């Protein structure tokens, strides 16, 4: 697999380093993919599921404790929603355990001695991802259960951990670094630049690096950070606006947690597949990227198991469409449309308009000698409508009605329109 780097000509996007082909980032969250309860076979099953659904990046932990000590038996286990308040986010007993990166026991690790057998499991997982064309985002640690406090900030123990991870994994062409998930909970703001500079110094392959915080990106255009990560969930307008907020920083923008999939009819962790799809599209329409998480019963986003979410089979259509467009050369131009629509444009060539609630909008385009061809795409199925042709500079776009027999919640009849200067859409 070719390494993926930041596109030098279009620095808000990614590309493969050798061929220069665009890399459209579609991430999948599996924090405890390397949990001791997961066999190599289970890990491969999850990775094959990702390939099937178009996910080309998996983010997972190298170290960490479970959120809570789970004392239930399997017979006592039930999932009744409210996963945030349940032990280990509602994961079945025994499926979340400390990740044994060192020798010793949890809360008593010997931070001078690494558990080689565990790191060999890491090697196998990263190699399996490389074989499948999947980026392995290695999250060095997470805030749960006080582990980062046990080895201390910028101590010899912490630096040894990061240097060992780099020395062991940087040679894999598909590795990216996430310095710490929600690191703002356990480190001061100046920590990420300091550890980031060290990682860049130690990494002879210069793999892409960033640090996952919360709503705000605190590091502007600092050279150690190759792309922006935020964690924000909200309405379509809000997630689109948050991505646009960082449009002038010449780095790709990734919303790693725009809301995991569940059953709630509102945006946020546990939102239904309609909201997942619409929010992911809204981020993409701002020129950004996202990572999916499955919070259906069994909490696949944490355990590394395959969940029962419906959105993955829909998000692959988003990736397929954006890979067919000159996405890296298109800019968000919501000023070209009316109402609650979003627009990406490469003027005089192609426009993409997304209507998160269906309905209609007016697209203001430049006058052209040739006509425009309009094609509608159903984000749920990837199906395209028959094309139509217009020649005027202002194009009225009315989304198709809901398909016969479709079971849609109110406000979920989203549609995308591809408007191209002729020759017609191929």
Render pLDDT for 45-81 as a digit per residue (tens, 0 to 9): 999 999 999 999 999 999 999 876 667 777 777 766 6
CATH class of 330-421: mainly beta
Q: Using alpha carbons only, what angle is made at residue 138 by residues 137 and 139, rounded to the nearest 5 degrees?
A: 110
- Given a cut of 90, whether residue 423 has pLDDT beyond it is no
Domain span(s) for CATH 2.60.40 in the chain: 330-421
Q: Check if the beta carbon of residue 33 is closer than 8 Å to that of residue 134.
A: no
What sign results for the dihedral spanned by CA atoms 114, 116, 117, 119? positive
**Residue range(s) of every CATH 3.20.20.80 domain in the chain:** 4-327
Contact (Cβ atoms closer than 8 angstroms) between residue 120 and residue 132: no
Res 388 pLDDT > 90: no
CB 273 within 8 A of CB 282: no
Which residue's entry shows tokens 């924000």?
232
Range 149-179 burial, b when 16+ CB lie within 10 A, else e = eebeeeeeebbebbebbbebbbebbbbbbbb
Compute the distance between CA of residue 189 and CA of residue 177 in angstroms, rounded to an integer: 18
Res 90 pLDDT > 90: no
Q: What is the pLDDT of residues 231-242, one digit of tens each?
A: 999 999 999 999
Identify any residues that bridge with 354 across adjacent strands, giving them in sequence order: 342, 416
350-355 vs 342-346, strand pairing mode: antiparallel
Task: Quickly count: other Cβ atoms within 10 Å of residue 115's Cβ.
Answer: 16
- Strands of the 22-23 sheet, one edge to the other: 4-6, 14-16, 22-23
How much is the average pLDDT of 140-167?
95
CB-based burial of residue 371 (10 Å sphere; 0-12 exposed, 13-18 middle, 19+ buried)? middle
pLDDT attached to residue 73: 75
Residue 425: predicted pLDDT: 43
Considering the segment(s) 4-327 as one domain, its CATH architecture is Alpha-Beta Barrel (3.20)
């Amino acid at each position: 697999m070719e390494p993926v780097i930041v596109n030098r000509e279009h620095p808000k996007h990614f590309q493969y380093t050798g061929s220069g082909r665009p890399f459209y980032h579609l991430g999948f969250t599996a924090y405890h993919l390397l949990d001791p309860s997961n066999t190599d076979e289970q890990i491969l099953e999850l990775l094959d599921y990702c390939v099937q659904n178009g996910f080309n990046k998996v983010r997972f932990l190298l170290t960490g404790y479970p959120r809570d000590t789970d004392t239930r038996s399997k017979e006592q286990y039930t999932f009744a929603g409210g996963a945030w308040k349940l032990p280990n986010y509602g994961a079945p007993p025994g499926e979340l355990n400390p990740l044994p990166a060192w020798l010793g026991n949890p809360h008593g690790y010997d931070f001078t001695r690494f558990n080689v057998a565990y790191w060999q499991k890491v090697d196998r997982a990263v190699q399996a991802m490389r074989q499948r064309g999947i980026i392995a985002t290695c999250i060095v640690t997470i805030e749960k259960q006080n582990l980062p406090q046990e080895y201390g900030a910028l101590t010899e123990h912490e630096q040894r951990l990061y240097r060992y991870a780099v020395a062991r994994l940087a040679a894999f062409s598909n590795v990216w670094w996430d310095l710490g998930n929600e690191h703002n909970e356990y480190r001061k703001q100046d920590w990420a630049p300091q550890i980031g500079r060290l990682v860049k110094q130690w990494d002879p392959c210069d793999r892409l690096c960033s640090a996952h915080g919360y709503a705000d990106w605190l590091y502007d255009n600092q050279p150690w950070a190759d792309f922006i990560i935020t964690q924000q969930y909200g309405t379509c307008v809000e997630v689109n606006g948050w991505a646009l907020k960082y449009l002038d920083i010449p780095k790709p923008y990734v919303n790693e947690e725009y809301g995991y999939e569940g059953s709630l009819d509102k945006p946020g962790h546990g939102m239904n597949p309609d909201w997942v799809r619409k929010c992911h599209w809204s981020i993409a329409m701002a020129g950004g990227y996202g990572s999916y998480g499955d919070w259906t019963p069994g909490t696949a986003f944490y355990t590394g198991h395959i969940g029962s979410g419906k959105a993955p089979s829909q998000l692959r259509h988003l990736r397929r469409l954006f890979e067919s467009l000159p996405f890296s050369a298109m800019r968000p131009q919501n000023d070209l449309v009316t109402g609650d629509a979003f627009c990406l444009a490469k003027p005089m060539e192609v426009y993409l308009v997304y209507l998160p609630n269906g309905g209609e909008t007016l697209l203001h385009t430049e006058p052209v000698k040739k006509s425009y061809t309009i094609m509608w795409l159903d984000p749920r199925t990837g199906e395209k409508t028959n094309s139509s042709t217009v020649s005027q500079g202002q194009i009225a776009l009315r989304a198709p009605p809901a398909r016969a027999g479709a079971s849609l919640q109110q406000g979920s009849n989203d549609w995308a329109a591809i408007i191209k200067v002729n020759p017609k859409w191929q």
